[in-house]
Amino acid sequence: MTTASKFEAVATSPNAERAATCDASVSPTGNMELLSQEEVRRLHEVGHGDLYELFRRCALAVLNCGGSMDSAEEVYRQYPDFEIEIVQRTRGIKLRVRNAPACAFVDGVMLNGVREHLFSVLRDIVFVTSELYHPAENGQREGDYESIRVREHSDGGEVKNLVFDVLRNAELLMPRSLPRLVVCWGGHSISREEYDYSKSVGYHLGLRSLDICTGCGPGAMKGPMKGATIGHAKQRISKGRYIGLSEPGIIAAESPNPIVNHLVVMPDIEKRLEAFVRLGHGIIVFPGGVGTLEEILFVLGTLMDERNSRVTVPLLFTEPAWSDGYFRKIDRFLVDTLGEQVRDYYQIIEDDPEAVALAMKQGIASVNRNRRKTRDAFYYNWLLTIPQGMKEPFEVTHETMAGLQLDSGLPPAELAVNLRRAFSGIVAGNVKDKGIRLVREHGPFALRGESGIMQAMDRLLGDFVAEGRMKIESQQYDPCYVIESL
């Protein structure tokens, strides 16, 4: 095999109990091809230290590009013998994988897109964050990657400009480029009709030379990218950007789809959401489940903050006719919890992909004018103020979930923070390894609050369950939460 010196991939035989796997050695591309001896040494040490389990699990998620599971725990169970090793060489590094999912290979050779994603994980989880994370505290088991936290400065403050630093290191910031990046949010567990609709919207965005940024997984995260590739091809755009933003706790449940050509793994969900709104120039939301509600509440809670009155962020909700008024239900929930004024921040367009793309193009033109007027950067929304409650990592436990204040007496922007945290906890209980274990060991999370808010939440979550929006295996879904009115 002519590529043996670079890939040396050997397929192993699957047995009745385990999925088909492959072994391989792969070399880096891009900015990781040129490393100093000190950088190589540090990567090698970190790859065998407290961050190893975090890196291993994210790498497995990337290699599981053909998987259809949305449970991190199930992914780890299917490939229990997966190993990845950072091999130090005089001229750099290579990665050696053993018992990797066979779907990442063609004829025994790793897909180029998957190889790029693998080294993106190395860059973000190991190279960047070796300076930003600290290991597990005393008393926590070794290798407990969920106990790793971002290191704080000596004064107790956050790591300044962390989101910017990670995006810049990933070479995503383009200072000499006009606004054209559309963030697309939506569920991984959606119908074929909703997937095709998201693909049609992406096609019309691509025809208008707009790039796509999503959560990088399947469903409504893949559809717009797939559609945009066709639109870009018809316009002879050879350098379309298909950006995927993930985070360690969710990447296994939403493995990056191979269309993504720029993958970034942010340190946690809060910084992932902040990266979306600072990097993108407009946001389109497709039907989804609790994760989509978390995203909606993040951006609305941010835009409703009075400090952002001068900032322009086009926000569109759209669905096919098949979805039967999905966003009317979302609209009702938002009005019932945050008040009528919330409608000032979004527009709903039903069953019209071309109208969505045209509205977004016009919205991005407004962003262009706004950034020029305020002298903000095109490539990064510096002037946007993220409320502190949206920026602070929310550690999901039974105590923190029960302690959320869900009361209409709170200012709407502050209530949006707590509602986002509630939905974030449900996401954790549905698909994240740690959340699943907490629910299994201690029962469902209890959410308590004012009667009207809890009724609105219970009604919406009930619709999600009935429509199969909680998990891909929706017929097996057992709620990880209980709703209680005070």
**Among 93, 128, 148, residue at a domain's last position:** 148
d(CA 245, CA 260): 10
Q: Is residue 163 part of a domain?
A: no
pLDDT in tens, 217-271: 889 999 999 999 999 999 999 999 999 999 887 887 778 888 999 999 998 889 9
Is residue 234 domain-shared with residue 107, that is, in the same domain?
A: no
- Token pair listed for 238: 């050879």
Asked if residue 169 is part of any domain, the answer here is no
For the ranges 34-38, 58-62, 202-206, 418-422, the lowest mean pLDDT is seen at: 34-38
311, 445: one domain: yes
Strands 133-134 and 481-485: unpaired
Q: Looking at the structure, do residues 224 and 352 belong to the same domain, yes or no?
A: yes
Q: Higher model confidence: residue 11 or residue 328?
A: 328
Judge whether 223 and 203 are in contact, CB under 8 Å.
no
Same domain, 141 and 214: no
Per-residue tokens: 65: 């590009």
Domain assignment present for 225: yes
- Does residue 162 lie within any of the structural domains? no
Looking at the structure, do residues 96 and 191 belong to the same domain, yes or no? no
pLDDT of residue 253: 72
Which of 18, 239, 5, 251 minimizes the C-alpha distance to 118? 251
Distances, alpha carbon 316 to alpha carbons 182, 337, 353, 370, 378, in Å: 11, 20, 12, 18, 20
Query: What is the DSSP pairing of strand 21-26 with strand 10-11?
Result: antiparallel
Q: What is the pLDDT of residue 381?
A: 94
Residue 436 and residue 433: Cα distance in Å, rounded? 5
172 found inside a domain = no
| Domains contained in the chain, number | 2
| pTM, rounded to two decimals | 0.87
Range of the domain at 408: 177-486
Q: Which of 391, 378, 383, 379 is nearest to 171 (CA)?
A: 379
Q: Which two structure tokens, joined as six digits, stand for 105?
A: 């290979």
Round to whole Å and give the CA distance between 253 and 75: 8
The answer to whether residue 224 sits within a structural domain is yes
Alpha-carbon span 167 to 23, nearest angstrom:
31
**CATH number for the domain that contains residue 55:** 3.30.1850.10
Give a yes or no: residue 220 inside a domain: yes
Verify that 274 and 330 share a domain, yes or no. Answer: yes
User: Which range, of 187-196, 226-235, 330-339, averages the lowest pLDDT?
Assistant: 187-196
Residues 136 and 187 in one domain: no
**Whether residues 294 and 239 fall in one domain:** yes
Look at residue 376 and tell me whether its pLDDT is greater than 60.
yes
Determine the average pLDDT of the residues in 330-334: 96
Q: Tell me, yes or no, whether 183 and 102 share the same domain.
A: no
One domain for residues 342 and 304: yes
Q: Are residues 106 and 195 in the same domain?
A: no
Q: What is the pLDDT at residue 44?
A: 66
**What's the token pair of residue 283?**
């946001």
Which residues does 406 contact at the CB level (< 8 Å), separation at least 6? 415, 418, 419, 422, 447, 448, 449, 450, 453, 454, 457
pLDDT exceeds 80 at position 134: no
Mean pLDDT check: name the lowest of 45-54, 152-161, 253-262, 308-317.
152-161
CATH number for the domain harbouring residue 323: 3.40.50.450
Report pLDDT digits (tens) over 112-124.
889 999 888 888 8
pLDDT at residue number 32:
64
**Residue at 55 is within a domain:** yes
Do residues 215 and 134 both lie within one domain? no
